[in-house]
Protein backbone atom coordinates (compact mmCIF):
# COMPACT_ATOMS: atom_id res chain seq x y z
CA UNK A 1 0.00 0.00 0.00
CA UNK A 2 2.70 2.46 0.96
CA UNK A 3 4.65 1.46 -2.16
CA UNK A 4 1.75 2.48 -4.43
CA UNK A 5 1.31 5.79 -2.61
CA UNK A 6 5.00 6.56 -2.83
CA UNK A 7 5.17 5.60 -6.48
CA UNK A 8 2.71 8.41 -7.19
CA UNK A 9 4.93 11.01 -5.54
CA UNK A 10 8.28 9.68 -6.81
CA UNK A 11 8.55 12.45 -9.40
CA UNK A 12 7.94 15.10 -6.77
CA UNK A 13 10.60 13.48 -4.61
CA UNK A 14 13.08 13.58 -7.49
CA UNK A 15 12.07 17.17 -8.27
CA UNK A 16 12.72 18.07 -4.64
CA UNK A 17 9.21 19.45 -4.27
CA UNK A 18 7.94 17.22 -1.46
CA UNK A 19 7.53 18.87 1.91
CA UNK A 20 9.95 17.87 4.67
CA UNK A 21 7.64 15.29 6.25
CA UNK A 22 6.82 13.56 2.94
CA UNK A 23 10.47 13.60 1.97
CA UNK A 24 11.41 11.92 5.26
CA UNK A 25 8.75 9.23 4.79
CA UNK A 26 9.87 8.63 1.21
CA UNK A 27 13.59 8.45 2.07
CA UNK A 28 12.93 6.14 5.00
CA UNK A 29 10.85 3.81 2.84
CA UNK A 30 13.57 3.66 0.15
CA UNK A 31 15.98 2.30 2.74
CA UNK A 32 13.54 -0.46 3.69
CA UNK A 33 12.05 -1.38 0.31
CA UNK A 34 14.39 -2.64 -2.45
CA UNK A 35 11.66 -2.44 -5.12
CA UNK A 36 10.91 1.22 -4.50
CA UNK A 37 14.60 1.99 -4.17
CA UNK A 38 15.31 0.34 -7.53
CA UNK A 39 12.34 2.01 -9.24
CA UNK A 40 13.37 5.42 -7.93
CA UNK A 41 16.95 4.85 -9.08
CA UNK A 42 15.69 4.01 -12.58
CA UNK A 43 13.53 7.16 -12.65
CA UNK A 44 16.51 9.20 -11.49
CA UNK A 45 18.74 7.77 -14.24
CA UNK A 46 16.10 8.37 -16.92
CA UNK A 47 15.75 11.98 -15.76
CA UNK A 48 19.52 12.52 -15.87
CA UNK A 49 19.70 10.93 -19.33
CA UNK A 50 16.85 13.08 -20.69
CA UNK A 51 18.26 16.23 -19.13
CA UNK A 52 21.60 15.67 -20.87
CA UNK A 53 19.90 14.88 -24.19
CA UNK A 54 17.51 17.80 -24.03
CA UNK A 55 20.27 20.22 -23.04
CA UNK A 56 21.78 19.68 -26.49
CA UNK A 57 18.57 20.53 -28.32
CA UNK A 58 18.11 24.11 -29.43
CA UNK A 59 14.77 25.42 -30.61
CA UNK A 60 14.77 27.16 -34.00
CA UNK A 61 14.65 30.97 -33.79
CA UNK A 62 11.19 31.16 -35.44
CA UNK A 63 9.77 28.72 -32.89
CA UNK A 64 11.25 30.76 -30.04
CA UNK A 65 9.69 33.95 -31.46
CA UNK A 66 6.28 32.30 -31.85
CA UNK A 67 6.40 30.89 -28.31
CA UNK A 68 7.46 34.23 -26.88
CA UNK A 69 4.60 36.00 -28.70
CA UNK A 70 2.11 33.38 -27.51
CA UNK A 71 3.30 33.62 -23.91
CA UNK A 72 3.13 37.43 -23.98
CA UNK A 73 -0.38 37.31 -25.44
CA UNK A 74 -1.40 34.82 -22.76
CA UNK A 75 0.08 36.97 -19.97
CA UNK A 76 -1.78 40.11 -21.14
Rounded to whole angstroms, the Cα distance separating 52 from 65 reads 24
Residue 17 CB, shortest distance to Zn ion, in Å, is 20
* Minimum gap (Å) between residue 8 Cβ and Zn ion: 12
CA distances from 55 to 11, 27, 59 (A): 20, 29, 11
The pattern of x and - marking residues 28 through 47 that bind Zn ion according to CB under 5 A reads: -----x--x-----------
In residues, how long is the chain?
Answer: 76
Q: Looking at residue 56, what DSSP letter applies? A: T
In the complex with Zn ion, the residue whose CB is nearer, 24 or 66, is 24
When asked if residue 67 is in the footprint of Zn ion (CB under 5 A), the reply is no
Amino acid sequence: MLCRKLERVAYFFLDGTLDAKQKRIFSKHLKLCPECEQRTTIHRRIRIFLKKRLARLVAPARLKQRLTRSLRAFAD
